[in-house]
Amino acid sequence: MAKIFFATFLVFLHLFEAQTQLHKNLKYYETLHADEITHKIVKRGIKPSINLHNKIREVEFTALGKKFKLILHPHRDVLHQNFRAVTVNSEGNETVVHLDQDSFFRGRVFGESTSHVSAHIDEKNVLTATIILPDETYHIEPSWRHLEKKLPESSNKHMVAYKASDVKLSWEHHNENKNDGENHFVPGRCGYVKEGAELETDDDDDEIEEPEVEAYGGNETPHSERRSKRQADQYEYTPTKTRCPLLLVADYRFFQEMGSSNTKTTISYLISLIDRVHKIYNDTIWQDRDVDGFRGMGFVIKKILVHSEPTKVRGGEAHYNMIREKWDVRNLLEVFSREYSHKDFCLAHLFTDLKFEGGILGLAYVGSPRRNSVGGICTPEYFKNGYTLYLNSGLSSSRNHYGQRVITREADLVTAHEFGHNWGSEHDPDIAECSPSASQGGSFLMYTYSVSGYDVNNKKFSPCSLRSIRKVLQAKSGRCFSEPEESFCGNLRVEGDEQCDAGLLGTEDNDQCCDKNCKLRKNQGAVCSDKNSPCCQNCQFMPAGVKCREAAYSTCEQEARCTGNSADCPKSPAMQDGTICQERGQCRSGKCVPFCETQGLQSCMCDVIADACKRCCRMSINETCFAVEPPDILPDGTPCIQGFCNKGVCEKTIQDVVERFWDIIEEININKVLRFLRDNIVIVVITITTLFWVPTSCLISYFDRRSRHAELKEYNWKQQLDLIHPSDRRRVIHIRVPRQKITLPTRM
């Protein structure tokens, strides 16, 4: 019985650790339900149209103390005109997956002219989005990736919302273990491989370099002086082929963990990720000190391949999707690079859920401006150890060194970093120009160690990277890049020389302010467009004093009002220092500082159930959390140590076992059965204990009592003089001989 209780305790302990996983990654987050988000199609043409912007959406919701109104339009810019998505079984057979391409959106926040939104909305109206505002970036993603132990899988309609400034990346956790002699800090890092062999050597490059591997964040020594390279052509370069066609491959682990064993969910995740990474590259000006730069270089997805099952292999063979618990990261990349199909793409990238040794999050072959070198974009084939390798490849993992799933922002940075190696950038050297301090904007994207994503420079390329990548693009992009397939007028965003953009109505010449060429109808007196500007009404500036933006206590911004001489909503003035903002924090210099930080402490989550729904602080990262005095009860719905707060009580949110059980009965599936058993392990243990162990114990106890009773009777009999054992008494047959009746003769 003690073993059963101990096993149950371990199960509870495991679940407890799972509950705190997301809290380790985020200082603060909130959950949303799909029912809390309103969707409205606000623009439809009178005439039938195949224009993508026929389905303009207004999406509204409130999260993190801010009301969002997103103006979204479908976009397929990141998808190739011949885009294909397939799923592959264990035998290698491909099945085409038909995807709703109109479920991917771009847009802006209404009233924020410099904002950008990248979003995906699935069939359950679950939103995955990145919302970029001038002072903050917000992320929304499905909660099941991180809270699957908390929320019912039968609904899967919950989301997590968080700010970029609240991200605690996995490599920042080392301080928690700095006193633990067995747990040393392993920073999040990636690596790159330089095969360096020339297929056709030049006069000044006639030696073959040995492959070089550098772990991202390792204790490497400074690079030796590299041989001087040919100078790139110093002329103005304006590329016409600006899109790198991608092959994205998800192995079966990634399919199960990040895609929840759903092919379309996996595909949608990858498309959304590449869309965000594409923006980083597309907005970059690739320039050198002495020459003008060019921009608009990015990605387009040509094919997505999802492995739904491990690939079967014959003895002695290796496949990147085979069943293997541990892979050496470089060996995995080399095996992945054997795929013949890679030659049809600019780059091929593998997404896996493996945890690699040394804290490695990704690995990629680095590109070179030398036209005949291998590795990176547009590379020729390469022969090594009897195999033909296609080194236009890389990989990234969704599982960090601590066994946690990476959050969206972390995944974006890792993938963008690996693509940077493929495009020709090595790690930023430790010089002031390319590795500045935090006070000067922080490290750039290609820094040796992983960046947080919140410093100004974290999503930018350093001058060193810009110079390296520029040379590679000049030398090789014409080989395998493609021309973009996109139009600008009609997407509700004012770009380039546009004066306005009324979306579909404008392209059909039905808007009163903006014509089909995205020009204002000045001949009709229009000075602005209602569709693009919050301070515009009936094509005229709104009067001064009209409110155009609500006050936002989460960001310590006062309401903003139109000026009367501009269609743009002016920047909101900062709230006065000391103003109470979100979660009892205080405004300081236009920022909402959490309550604990205003007291010189650190915010944390109490792990004692009695205090789980009280506001808690700690002296430092290694100190114990304590509830503040007087007690401050957290609002309903606030995440706590084992679920969510409800009226001051931390309620454990347990899967609806009955509902999940009937789901399995209605559609028997081994994956559902296994997932049901895994997600309800405590109840399974208790049920098995009740149905099997308890009856068995009672039965054994019954026979034990009978045995002891029999032994006691045996012992007592031996102490008596009775020669017949009590159990044999019934076997002794007592025969009563009838007494013969004697008849006396009668006297005569």
- Of 451, 479, 482, 481, the C-alpha closest to 465 is 451
DSSP 8-state secondary structure symbol assigned to residue 725:
-
The SS3 call for residue 189 is strand
The strand pairing partners of 549, in sequence order, are 560
- Of 735, 615, 655, the C-alpha closest to 28 is 615
Sign of the C-alpha dihedral, residues 692, 693, 697, 700?
Answer: positive
Angle of helix 657-666 versus helix 670-679 axis, rounded to 10: 170
Angle of helix 681-688 versus helix 2-19 axis, rounded to 10: 170
- Residue 427 marked ligand-binding: yes
Residue 474: CB partners within 8 Å, gap ≥ 6?
232, 233, 237, 369
* Token representation of residue 418: 């690996």
DSSP 60-81: EEEETTEEEEEEEEE--TTEEE
Sign of the C-alpha dihedral, residues 257, 258, 260, 262?
Answer: negative
- Please write down the long-range contacts of 94-103, taking CB distance under 8 Å and 24 or more positions apart: 94/305, 97/263, 97/264, 97/267, 97/306, 99/264, 99/267, 99/268, 101/74, 101/76, 102/52, 102/55, 102/74, 103/74, 103/268
* Token representation of residue 217: 């964040």
Residue 127 has phi, psi (to 5 degrees) of -100, 130
- Residue 174 marked ligand-binding: no
* Token representation of residue 513: 């302010």
The strand pairing partners of 151, in sequence order, are none
Residue 436: CB partners within 8 Å, gap ≥ 6?
442, 443, 457
- Of 333, 315, 344, the C-alpha closest to 387 is 333
* Token representation of residue 248: 């994205």
- Residue 421 marked ligand-binding: yes
Cis amide prior to 380 (ω within 30 degrees): no
Residue 639 has phi, psi (to 5 degrees) of -60, 140
**CA–CA separation, 322 and 335 (whole Å):** 11
Pick the catalytic residue from 418, 426, 498, 583: 418
**CA–CA separation, 449 and 364 (whole Å):** 15
- Of 136, 153, 131, 135, the C-alpha closest to 144 is 153
**CA–CA separation, 590 and 551 (whole Å):** 12
Q: Are 365 and 393 in contact (CB under 8 A)?
A: yes
Asked if 141 is an active-site residue, the reply is no
Residue 73: C-alpha distances to residues 56, 99, 532 (Å): 5, 17, 14
DSSP 634-698: PPTT-EETTEEEETTEEEE----HHHHHHHHHHS--HHHHHHHHHHTHHHHHHHHIIIIIHHHHH
Binding positions for Zn(2+): 417, 421, 427
Binding residues: 417, 421, 427
**Active-site annotation, residues:** 418
